Amino acid sequence: MCYSAQIVADFSKYRRHGGELDVQAYVKMAGWVRQKGTWMKAMPKAMRNAFLDSRAPEEQEARGLAVAAYREAATALQEEIAAQSARLEKARAVLASPKPTKRAEGEQRIATKKLAAALAKLDQVNDQAGRPELARIWPGDLAPVLIRDHETGERRVVPMRYRCRLPGWDDAKERAKPGTYNARMDSLTTVWKKLWGYNHGVMVARRFFESVSLHRLQQRELAPGERDLSVELEFRPEPEQDMLLACLWRWVEPEGDEPGFYSVAAITRDPPPEVRAAGHDRCVIPIRPENLDAWLDPQPGQLVEMERILADSIDAYYEHEFSVKTVEVTHDQ
């Protein structure tokens, strides 16, 4: 499974493949993210900043939304900084008094941690430069996905949530089975049959990350009494290149207070030998650029060709190295 990937959020990369950003889809999805208060977390920087410098009339709604979302994020963080600073000052005063308490020690520790986190997040809000073209996404985050519009035949780049809500599912069912950010190749004709052969797309990525059991990475069995530890590996293709990750997507109709949104899953397969040797049993599928036209325009009655495209992925060797983050293992569907 690919539980996280470093996607390319620079829309010029998608334009090379004939896709233009769907501004209205962006506005709807970004507005939802803003309403939920997850503008900084769920939205890759390049997507957040795509319209900040735009003067095009048709893009001013998107620009205004981004400006307002940044302003709200900054205000919320400034309030958090003020609250935690006051909390820290109060705790220090108690600790400096003749009767310091354990509670004050705890308050000082928590306030210090939360203050540092809020200051770091505010730096991110204020830093709208840097390298916006690369962004790491996690399940539930937004990512740009290249698709072919069923009605017009045109290619569109649509912001999609990286976790697909399957047909017939509601929010509760999705929460009960949260692994649908990946679609197993051996489940395409069962779990994914209503999307397979109909809604195909690609995400452009440079890296993918996997959670691996340490003992499997070391190619050994667990010792008696040893706890199963998980480490994170970063995989990159050699030769280095943009990967067109094969995906299935779905438009979710509005329901209750929840707006309509696009959702997506990356297709996974059995791993190549070097990924398996590193301790992981799944791998994303980067299709060859010459197969992109056929992949984006699937014919439900000719799925053998789609299977051939998935089987004929790019010729690459996946180097790996340790990432700094340790994570819990989850499973895809």
- Chunked mean pLDDT (size 10), the chain, 333 residues: 76 85 88 86 82 86 91 94 97 95 96 95 78 74 93 93 94 92 95 96 93 85 88 92 96 86 95 92 94 94 93 94 54 42
- pLDDT at position 131 is 54
**Any bridge partners for residue 137, and if so which?**
5
The Cα 34–Cα 45 span in angstroms is 14
Torsion of CA 148, 131, 127, 181, to 10 degrees: 40
> What six digits make up the tokens of 166?
């399957």
Q: Which residues of 32-64 are buried (b: 16+ CB within 10 A; e: fewer)?
A: bbbeeebbbebbbbbbbbbbeeeeeeebebbbe
Q: Which of 68, 77, 74, 66 is nearest to 29 (CA)?
A: 66
Separation of alpha carbons 196 and 293, rounded Å? 16
Question: What would the two tokens of residue 14 be?
Answer: 């998608």
pLDDT at 43: 83
Q: Spell out the SS3 assignment of 285-304.
A: CEECHHHHHHHHCCCCCCHH
Q: What is the pLDDT of residue 145?
A: 95
Containing H/E element for 245? strand 243-252
- Cα–Cα distance for residue pair 83/86, rounded to 1 Å: 5
Residue with tokens 């990525």: 205
CATH number belonging to the domain at 4-22+132-322, selected among 3.40.50.300, 3.30.565.10, 2.40.128.110, 3.90.1680.10? 3.90.1680.10
DSSP class of residue 313 equals: B
Segment (H or E) for 320: strand 317-322
pLDDT score for 331: 36
Question: Kindly report the CA angle at 138 between 290 and 3, in degrees rounded to 5?
Answer: 70
